[in-house]
Amino acid sequence: MKHFIITGTSRGIGESIAEQLISPDHYLHCISRVKNARLESKSNNITYYEFDLNQIDQIEALMNRIFNSIDLPRTEGIYLINNASMIAPVAFIDKVNVNDLTGNLKVNLLAPIILTSLFIQHTKYVESNKRILNISSSSAKHHHPGMSLYSAAKAGLDVFSQCVGLEQNHSNTPVGIVSIWPGMIDTNLQHEARSQDQSTFPSAELFGMAKDTGMLTTPEETAHLIIDFLFKIEFEHGSVVDIFDYSKLVQQ
């Protein structure tokens, strides 16, 4: 049995990844603030954890619950997909209150860091395949006024993934780790960005144009590429990967 711990499975990419991973040989541990009853009903091999990643002081207890339910010596593989993300607040930094600021960084950066640390601790002596995918964003490189928090968090996640990759090179049973840019996808995050008031978020028009001109991919298409990458034999450990570039290689 392969085990998958996936955050942000209530909708969007996370929901599509989880749905496409459903298999008699896969067990899914799904995490989101609101339970996805439709997803849960699709398989008996799903345990759902209704959990708000803002509660960073409770993540350790959550991971203990998950790993206590897994027979680690008998796993064929174990995988962590840090997908949960939030774009809000979309505003110039001097207009953001402290609670919204810290909430963004908790979900987008601190939570995946903590989950990664705990995953590595729990699987330290596991010899089967172990991999972590951190779902990042090209916003780490392509910047827009009003998205400083989101971009900073994703850039931090990329650097964190690269550094942990270097650390795992010193392990006898290393965990493979990659940060992935999933591209422009028609999700609630994109809708939220293009729905903003242009007076407070000047790039709202650009996000709207991306939708209107058909530049957005579907969550299902992106999830398929991400899963394909997750199982790659030549996993690009310690890298930051643009899934758009990967999809072009796959098509060649």
Structure tokens at 85: 């993300």
- Active-site residue flag, 150: yes
Neighbours of 250 (CB within 10 A): 11
- Pairing status of strand 129-135 against strand 176-181: parallel
Structure tokens at 166: 């270097």
- Determine the 3-state secondary structure of 50 from DSSP: strand
Catalytic residue among 27, 48, 150, 246: 150
**Pair 239, 33: CB distance under 8 Å:** no
Alpha helices in the chain (DSSP H): 12-21, 37-40, 59-68, 98-105, 111-122, 148-168, 188-194, 204-212, 219-230, 243-251
DSSP bridge partners of 31: 7, 49
- Determine the 3-state secondary structure of 221 from DSSP: helix
**Pair 130, 77: CB distance under 8 Å:** yes
**Pair 96, 147: CB distance under 8 Å:** no
Peptide bond into 89 cis (omega under 30): yes
Structure tokens at 239: 């890298």
- Residues that are catalytic: 150
